[in-house]
Structure 1
């Protein structure tokens, strides 16, 4: 690590998230590339003498992952446990129950945090120099699922919002830290899977709105030395309260073309002296992502030439759709994942808005209603649309 403090090292941690094991990219199986990234993680842990690895949610891409993804995770955890302590939390893509199955049977150096109960009991990691790191793992806190569990005994159910449930969880974390005050010197980390205000999203994060709101104010996660965040796929720092460093590690691979300019990485965190110091460790890149736009002649010629080995999204702009368009593009650009014909827009034609995984499903439904009826839904109709979406989302979570 190039900028390690000169003081005695207290603890070193590797922060990663959003592995999405089992995910594909426009039909391309990414499991081999995910395996290469996990080999890289093991190498970093060994080379940098990492004391703890934290994985901030979305370990799998869906609630019922493919067998190959489960096998890859099992083998990776076994390798990491030989070298360090691993703390995994569940994200909104994971089934907390399935990911957490057998948590009590895991070896001591593999800690799964998928339940609300015990979120204020940290994983304690110690080093040879007497330093202690307290890692509080918060599973993804879906307000509809956990707001009763997180309410204080005898108190009303919490408000139906990400802010309310995250604040209640952090109140428990801070209470545990306060009870430890005056003891040996420690560092504290909270691992959270949430959309924190100030973070910048891409197109591939699944919408998590409840009541139309998906954000958590950054001050809610204050009171610890480092907040290891997951959910947003771009590596980024979030401005938080004084004394707390907040960062998204981002996903290890690009999972949409909106992420083509990301530098994928993990975060090496050095908790030395009085300052938390971080360094991004670049992840291996299987192929670059690129956009190629132009006439078919351009695409097959100069515009496409630099991208023969890239995963590309091609937009062909000829006035008329060329014959055998897909076959001709793939012959020149064998890794083209998306091929579209988009002639120059007609004057006065309505602008089209792309619908991505991050789009608010209720807003998409409102656009459809407007398109069909010529008018936006009124308040009563909007309430029906939102209730229908949230009912469907709840059914998916319980699958």
Structure 2
């Protein structure tokens, strides 16, 4: 059986204030052509289909058009799950009706878990969709109060799912999770403020392939058969050197898999350049003009008049300028703390120390994390 693994489309994304829907449409057209050329038996989308719980209408229309072409024109089944950016209720609306057309959507967590069964010339393949679910939701749905973290919750769900799958058949998991040791990117929203969102790769050892979503860098996670496909596009400047694409997976009769990463090329790439202002402005051989989404890091220490306006003539899609060495009041900006890189817990800890001249205790840290996680969960539910 051949299937395509993709994830983290983030339809409706804003990138430094620019709507990316047209860019996403451009890449999805390439995706569709790959589907036509490779003729897979199924397409797996491992969460974060949208960028937020209530997506803009343009994003909804783009997804509708893409799925219609895959299902109606190409007759290829699509299995997709909700991610932490999605509204589980909205993603899952009409799922029973749509399953009759070959669109298998798992939005909200259910008890029991329901596999999707597809058949090839060697027999059945069981696809188990583990929609994104926080430990508190798993505890509520399954009335199991001992599931305190993501790892325990995922292991519990996997054990329950295996009870629904016959012995000896080929098995594929879809999950939206952070596997311990995975390479993160700036554009990913943390699953948990307290850092307890890690899931061990061993949870998926029973599956012949695990199609993961959440991390935006294409990578293996603890084994050849446990993979992140990565995001549809580059969504932050720290992803500039990453290769974006999809995984084409060929599974034989014994469940052994061969994986091919097929790259997708955006209309505008995400690039970073650094150097002196004068050199960037004048040296076209070293700094050629380009229309990609650009971040420029200047190593000048003095103020520069209309720096954005002048650089925009070379880079019309200039998104961000960094001045790490800018001299302000005799002190280099490089020496100042960049609070954008700190977590909510670190920021609150700094505030607490400034106000009380004491560091947070472990008990206070845990109280802060617990309350913030509950507030974020309520916020997501309110937007759903």
Quick check: TM above 0.5? yes
How far does the alpha carbon of each residue in 1:282-304 deviate from its partner, in whole angstroms, 9 at most, with x for none?
11222222222232212212277
Q: How does 1:48-67 map to 2 (within 5 A)?
A: 48-67=38-57
Cα contact 2:193–2:369 (8 A) shared by 1? no
Residue 387 of structure 1: how far off its partner (Å)? 3.8
Q: How does 1:192-231 map to 2 (within 5 A)?
A: 192-209=175-192, 211-231=194-214
> Structure 1's 260 and 221: CA in aligned 2 closer, same or farther, altered over 3 A?
same
- Give SS of 1:306's match: coil
Distance 1:340 1:224 in 2: 45
Distance 2:40 2:108 in 1: 26
Structure 2 partner of 1:114: 107
Distance 2:111 2:29 in 1: 31
Cα contact 2:302–2:326 (8 A) shared by 1? no
Residue 146 of structure 1: how far off its partner (Å)? 2.0
Between 60-69 and 103-112, the greater mean CA deviation after superposition:
103-112
Aligned residues: 374
Which of residues 160, 163, 171 is equivalent to 1:188?
171
> Structure 1's 384 and 168: CA in aligned 2 closer, same or farther, altered over 3 A?
closer
Structure 1 partner of 2:337: 352
Structure 2 partner of 1:268: 248
Runs of 4 or more, structure 1, over 6 Å off, are none
Cα contact 1:114–1:138 (8 A) shared by 2? no
> Structure 1's 386 and 272: CA in aligned 2 closer, same or farther, altered over 3 A?
same
Is 1:252 aligned with 2:232? yes
Cα contact 1:161–1:211 (8 A) shared by 2? no
Is 1:35 aligned with 2:42? no
Structure 1 partner of 2:155: 167
Distance 1:295 1:259 in 2: 23
Q: How does 1:1-399 map to 2 (within 5 A)?
A: 11-82=1-72, 83=74, 84-106=76-98, 107-117=100-110, 120-127=113-120, 129-151=121-143, 156-177=144-165, 180-181=166-167, 186-209=169-192, 211-240=194-223, 245-274=225-254, 275-302=256-283, 305-343=287-325, 346=331, 350-353=335-338, 355-356=340-341, 360-370=343-353, 375-399=358-382
Compute the TM-score of the two structures, normalised by the length of structure 2: 0.90
Distance 2:275 2:112 in 1: 53
> Structure 1's 119 and 253: CA in aligned 2 closer, same or farther, altered over 3 A?
farther
Distance 2:173 2:282 in 1: 51
Residue 239 of structure 1: how far off its partner (Å)? 1.6
Between 310-319 and 371-380, the greater mean CA deviation after superposition:
371-380
Between 187-196 and 201-210, the greater mean CA deviation after superposition:
201-210
Cα contact 1:321–1:341 (8 A) shared by 2? no
Distance 2:85 2:184 in 1: 16
Structure 2 partner of 1:4: none
Structure 2 partner of 1:6: none
Distance 1:379 1:199 in 2: 26
Compute the TM-score of the two structures, normalised by the length of structure 1: 0.87
Distance 2:353 2:105 in 1: 45
Cα contact 1:200–1:232 (8 A) shared by 2? yes
- Give SS of 1:137's match: strand
How well do the aligned residues superpose, as a CA RMSD in angstroms?
Answer: 2.3
> Structure 1's 299 and 145: CA in aligned 2 closer, same or farther, altered over 3 A?
same
Between 94-103 and 11-20, the greater mean CA deviation after superposition:
94-103
Residue 349 of structure 1: how far off its partner (Å)? 7.1
Residue 150 of structure 1: how far off its partner (Å)? 3.1
How far does the alpha carbon of each residue in 1:190-222 deviate from its partner, in whole angstroms, 9 at most, with x for none?
000000113111111101126431100111122
- Give SS of 1:392's match: helix
- Give SS of 1:148's match: helix
How far does the alpha carbon of each residue in 1:229-259 deviate from its partner, in whole angstroms, 9 at most, with x for none?
000000001124xxx7100000010000011
Cα contact 1:119–1:169 (8 A) shared by 2? no
